[in-house]
Structure 1
Amino acid sequence: MDQEKVNILLVDDQPAKLLAYEVILKDLGENLVIASSGREALEVLLKTEIAVILVDVCMPELDGFELAAMIREHPRFQKTAMIFISAIQVSDIDRLRGYEMGAVDYVPVPVVPEVLRAKIKVFAELYRKTRELERLNHELEDRVRARTAELESSTAKLRESEQRRSMAIAAGKMGSWDWDWINGDWMWDEGQYRIFGVGPGSFEVNPANVQALLHPDDVDQLRKAVAEFNKGTRAYETEFRIVRPDGEVRWCVGTAAATVDRSGRVVRVSGVTVDITERKRAEEQQNLLAREVDHRAKNALALAQSIVRLTRADEVKAYVNAVEGRINALARVHTILSLSSWQGAELSKLIDEELAPYSLGDQIRLAGPEVQLLPATAQTLALALHELFTNSAKYGALSTRSGQLAIDWRVEDGLLTLSWEESGGPLVMTPKSRGFGTRSLLASIESQLGGQAQFDWRAEGLLCRLEVPLTRKASTTALGKFDSGGSAELERASG
C-alpha cells in the first residue's frame, strides 16, 4: 500500500544549493517544499504541515540558529525535526547551540547524498509513524467508548467486540483484558498474554497469578487502583512494570474503565495494556545523552576559560598563538575521543596529532606499546604534550635541523612512564623560575593525575620524565588549579 507523502522544507538563500538538495532527495518520493529565506520558511510553516526542515546555518537576515529559535517558540513546531547544513567548520560550541535551538542533526558541506537521504528518510518515517500512532490512539479511544456502551446492554456483545478488537491490536505491543467484577472471571486476548510473556495453555488468569508477574514495587499502586473503583472511580490509567517468567522486566501503561449497573454498582472492569519498554529505554538514553553533553560541554568550557585566563605573553600576536595552540590541542584530543565514543584514546594517537603540524621527519623517534588512556587522562596528558612540543619547537631540539627528540614510554603495574629526551639543539641552561608551561605540566600530571613530573635541564637538551597512574580517574579541569602568574612558555634558556 502506498504511503502518505510528507512535506520536507528546504531552506537556503542560494538557488543552486536548493536545486542540489532537490536532486538528492527526489528519490525519497516525498513532497519537497522550497524556501529561499528564513522569513519565507516561516510563511510556509504557517500554511503547511512540515515533517522535516533542512536549513542552512549561514543565511542573510535570519540565519539558521535564529530561524530555529523562532520556529521552536511556536507551539505547533516544537517537535518538528530540524537538520542544519553548514559549509563552515562547526565547533562543539556551535553544535551545542544548535542542539539547544532544537536541531536534531548536522550535515557538513560538501553534502554526501547518501548520508543526507538517509537522515531525511529516518525523520520522515518517524513523522509518518507518529501521525499513524496518533490516529491509532484516537481509534482506540473510540473503540473503548463504543465497547463500554455495549457492555451496558449485553455481555455476549462485549465478548464479540473484544475478539474483534484483539485481532486489530494483535500486531502491535498492545493487549486487552476484561474482568467480571461479580463472579471474578478474567479474559485476556492474545496481546495481553504476549506482553506478560506467558501462554494461555499454561497460565491461569487470576488475581494471585497476575500479581506474581507484577514488579514488587508497583503492586501497591495497582491495589489502590482496584480499590478506587469501589469508591466511585470509573476510569484509571497508570504506568507499571511486570517481571516475565524469564526474569525480563517490561514497562507498561494500563488503562482501565468500569461498567456499572443501574444502581451504580461496578459489574465489569475492562482495560488495555500497552508495552512501552522501548519508549522508556529511549527516554532514559535521551536523558543520559543530555547529561553527558552537558557534562562534557562544561568541562570543555572550563578548560578553554582557564587557558585564556592563564596564558601570558608580551605581544598580542604571541598571546593569540599560545591560546590557539592550546585550544587546538584540546580540540584534537576531543576528536580522538569522539571517534571512540568517549571510551578512551591511544597515547600514540595523541602524540601523532601533536606531531602533525611540524613535519620533522627523522628528527623524532617514538617507541612504546599501545596504551589506552581514560578520557580525562587523555585530555590532560594531551595538553602537557602540547606544551613540551610547542616549546621544543621554539627553543629546544626541534628548533634546529640538527636537533633530535626521543619519546619512549612503558607501562608497569598500572603506571605509565613517559621519557622525553632532547639532544643536538641549542645549549640549555636551568631556568631561574617556573613559568606557566612548567606549572601546567606539574599541576596536570601531579595534582590532577596523581603522578610525577621531573625536569633535568641538561646542557645538551631537556630530559623530562612523566609518571602517570592509569587506574585513577583524572579530572578534566586540569587547568582549573593553576595560579594566574608566570610566563606563557615552558621556561627554557638557550645559549
Structure 2
Amino acid sequence: MDHEKVNILLVDDQPAKLLAYEVILKDLGENLVIASSGREALEVLLKTEIAVILVDVCMPELDGFELAAMIREHPRFQKTAMIFISAIQVSDIDRLRGYEMGAVDYVPVPVVPEVLRAKIKVFAELYRKTRELERLNQELEDRVRARTAELENSTAKLRESEQRRSMAIAAGKMGSWDWDWISGDWMWDEGQYRIFGVSPESFEVNPANVQALLHPDDVDQLRKAIAEFNRGTRAYETEFRIMRPDGEVRWCVGTAAATVDDSGRVVRVSGVTVDITERKRAEERQNLLAREVDHRAKNALALAQSIVRLTRADEVKAYVNAVEGRINALARVHTILSLSSWQGAELSRLIDEELAPYSLGGQIILAGPQVQLLPATAQTLALALHELFTNSAKYGALSTRSGRLTIGWQVEDQLLTLSWEESGGPLVMTPKSRGFGTRSLLASVESQLGGQARFDWRAEGLLCRLEVPLTRKPAATPPSEKFEDTGSAELQRASG
C-alpha cells in the first residue's frame, strides 16, 4: 500500500558504516538522512521532521548517550524513537541508561540486515500511524462541527461515512463507527469488525453484543461514556480491552465525539478505535527489563558486598588481591550470563574463564558433557571454582610445573557431580583449621545450592568432589557472615 515517506536519520562518524546502513535500509522506501557527527545530527533535527534516529553509541566529541540526552531536552523531540547501535558488549546498566535517555532498542554489531530493517520499519510505521491518528482526530472534530447543519442530508452522511472507513482501513489497525443516538442503529466499518475479531455476516452490532466483547473490568468505561454524553460532554477518549470470540485479549484506545441538534440534544455519536496491543506489550517488556536490571544489579551488589565484608587478611595488599580475585570471578560469570541474555551459563565455559588468567598449557585436563547452569547456580559455582583455582595456584598442583589437575564432571538425575583431582604438586597435609576459602566454598555449595562438598587431603594432592542439584532454585541471599576469613592459607599444604 502506498504511503507517505518518513525521514530516518542515520548518525555515525564512519562513512563506511553509514553506507552499509543505507544499503540495508533502502528497501524500506523511506527517506534516509545522513549525519556524520552528533552536532550535525542536531542541525538536521532542527530543520527536518525525523521519524526514527539510528545512532552509534561510540562517537568522538559527542557519543550516542550524550546526543540522546540533548535530543530529549528539546520539547519537540521528546517522543522521537532512537535506536542505538553498539560495536561493544554493553552492560545491563548501560542499557538502562540508554532507555532512561529515550532509546527504544539496541542493535549489536555485526548488524543483521533483516533485524535492523524490521526494527526500523516498526517505528517508522508507528510514527506514520501516530501522525495519521492526529490528522484523523482533527478531521473528526471538523466533521462534528460541520455535520450539525447536514444531519438530514443522507448523501452527505454517506460520503462522510465512506471517508471514515477509508481512513481507518488505510491506517491499518484502526476502525470507525457511528451510533444513531435516537434510533439506536450502529454502523461499523471493516476495520472495526477486524479489531473486535468478528465478521459483518455473523455479528449484529448492538449495545448488548458490543458490551459482551468488552473485558469485564472495562465495561464501566462504556457506561461512563454514555453518562458523560448525557451530561453534555461532546468528546470522550479512553483505553479499554476487548475479548475476542477466540479468547484473545486486545488493548484499544477509543475516541468518540457527539453531534447535537439545535436544542443541544445528542443525536449521533461517532468514533474511532485504534488497536494499541503491540504498544502495550512493548511497554510491558520495557518495564520488565527495568525491573530485571534492578534485580540483577542488587544481587550483584549484594554478592560484592558479602565478598568485601567477609574477606580478611593480615596485610592490605593480600586483602586487596583476595577481594579483586573474587570480584573478578563474579564479573566473568556475569559477562557469560549477559551474553546469553541471562538464560544460563555452560559449565565448561565457566571453567575456561577461571583458567584463563593462569595460561598453564597442558597441566590441566577437562572431561565432561555440556551442562547448562541456571544463572544463580552459575554465579555461586563460579566463586567456588575460583577458590579452588586460587589455592591450587598458591599451594597445590598448579603452583609447580610438575603438577597436574584433572577436572571431570557428569550429570545423572539432574545432579551434577564435579571431581577436582590434583597430583604432582607439593606434599599435602590435612589443614588444622578451615580458612575463608574452604568455609565459603562449603557454605555456597551446601547452603546456597543445596549440594555437598567433600575434601580428601591425600599426600599426593587434594581430591575434592562437588555435588550440585541442577533443578533446585538457589538461595538469593549471600553466605552467612559467620564465615570470616582468618587470613590463613585456605587449603593449606606443606611441602615435604
Over 3 Å counting, the alpha-carbon distance change for 1:214 and 1:88 in structure 2 is: closer
What is the distance in 2 between the residues matched to 1:113 and 1:241?
A: 35
Over 3 Å counting, the alpha-carbon distance change for 1:480 and 1:300 in structure 2 is: farther
Over 3 Å counting, the alpha-carbon distance change for 1:73 and 1:194 in structure 2 is: same
Percent pairwise identity: 94
1:492 deviates by: 4.6
Q: Which moved more, 1:423-432 or 1:25-34?
A: 25-34
Asked whether the 8 Å contact 2:164–2:176 carries over to 1, the reply is no
- The root-mean-square deviation of aligned C-alpha atoms, in Å, is 4.1
1:76 deviates by: 2.8
1:426 deviates by: 0.9
Measured against aligned partners, the alpha-carbon deviations of 1:191-233 in whole angstroms (never above 9, x if no partner) come to 1111111111111122222222222222233123223322222
1:7 deviates by: 6.1
Counterpart position of 1:439: 439
Over 3 Å counting, the alpha-carbon distance change for 1:480 and 1:121 in structure 2 is: farther
Measured against aligned partners, the alpha-carbon deviations of 1:353-374 in whole angstroms (never above 9, x if no partner) come to 3234444454333333433221
1:377 deviates by: 0.8
1:283 deviates by: 1.5
Over 3 Å counting, the alpha-carbon distance change for 1:162 and 1:479 in structure 2 is: farther
Asked whether the 8 Å contact 1:180–1:267 carries over to 2, the reply is yes
Q: Which moved more, 1:201-210 or 1:64-73?
A: 64-73
What is the distance in 2 between the residues matched to 1:249 and 1:264?
A: 37
Over 3 Å counting, the alpha-carbon distance change for 1:248 and 1:66 in structure 2 is: closer
1:155-166 correspondence to structure 2 within 5 Å: 157=157, 161-162=161-162, 165-166=165-166
Q: Which moved more, 1:298-307 or 1:134-143?
A: 134-143
Q: Which moved more, 1:52-61 or 1:192-201?
A: 52-61
1:12 deviates by: 7.3
Asked whether the 8 Å contact 1:166–1:190 carries over to 2, the reply is no
Q: Which moved more, 1:328-337 or 1:378-387?
A: 328-337
Over 3 Å counting, the alpha-carbon distance change for 1:134 and 1:236 in structure 2 is: closer
Asked whether the 8 Å contact 1:437–1:491 carries over to 2, the reply is no
What is the total number of aligned residue pairs between the two structures? 495
What is the distance in 1 between the residues matched to 2:230 and 2:57?
A: 59
1:378 deviates by: 1.1
Structure 1 residue runs of 5 or longer lacking an equivalent are: none
Q: Which moved more, 1:72-81 or 1:173-182?
A: 72-81
1:352 deviates by: 2.9
Counterpart position of 1:142: 142
SS of 1:267's equivalent? strand
1:54 deviates by: 6.1
Over 3 Å counting, the alpha-carbon distance change for 1:38 and 1:318 in structure 2 is: farther
Asked whether the 8 Å contact 2:168–2:174 carries over to 1, the reply is no
SS of 2:4's equivalent? coil
Asked whether the 8 Å contact 1:7–1:31 carries over to 2, the reply is yes
Over 3 Å counting, the alpha-carbon distance change for 1:319 and 1:6 in structure 2 is: farther
1:376 deviates by: 0.9
1:180 deviates by: 1.7
Over 3 Å counting, the alpha-carbon distance change for 1:337 and 1:139 in structure 2 is: farther
What is the distance in 2 between the residues matched to 1:412 and 1:300?
A: 30
1:42-191 correspondence to structure 2 within 5 Å: 45-46=45-46, 48-50=48-50, 65-82=65-82, 91-104=91-104, 131=131, 134-135=134-135, 138-139=138-139, 141-142=141-142, 146=146, 150-151=150-151, 157=157, 161-162=161-162, 165-166=165-166, 169=169, 172-191=172-191
Over 3 Å counting, the alpha-carbon distance change for 1:32 and 1:248 in structure 2 is: closer
SS of 1:104's equivalent? strand
Asked whether the 8 Å contact 1:18–1:34 carries over to 2, the reply is yes
What is the distance in 2 between the residues matched to 1:415 and 1:279?
A: 43
Asked whether the 8 Å contact 2:312–2:484 carries over to 1, the reply is no
What is the distance in 2 between the residues matched to 1:56 and 1:216?
A: 46
Q: Which moved more, 1:425-434 or 1:312-321?
A: 312-321
Measured against aligned partners, the alpha-carbon deviations of 1:246-269 in whole angstroms (never above 9, x if no partner) come to 222212222222222222222222
What is the distance in 1 between the residues matched to 2:171 and 2:111?
A: 39
1:383 deviates by: 1.6
Counterpart position of 1:203: 203
Q: Which moved more, 1:432-441 or 1:182-191?
A: 432-441
Q: Which moved more, 1:363-372 or 1:483-492?
A: 483-492
What is the distance in 2 between the residues matched to 1:200 and 1:58?
A: 54
1:78 deviates by: 2.9
What is the distance in 1 between the residues matched to 2:456 and 2:477?
A: 27
1:381 deviates by: 0.8
Over 3 Å counting, the alpha-carbon distance change for 1:470 and 1:207 in structure 2 is: same
Measured against aligned partners, the alpha-carbon deviations of 1:263-320 in whole angstroms (never above 9, x if no partner) come to 2222222222111111221211121122112222222233334434544556666555
Counterpart position of 2:240: 240
Q: Which moved more, 1:429-438 or 1:276-285?
A: 429-438
What is the distance in 2 between the residues matched to 1:169 and 1:23?
A: 31
1:351 deviates by: 2.0
What is the distance in 2 between the residues matched to 1:117 and 1:298?
A: 35
Q: Which moved more, 1:96-105 or 1:434-443?
A: 96-105
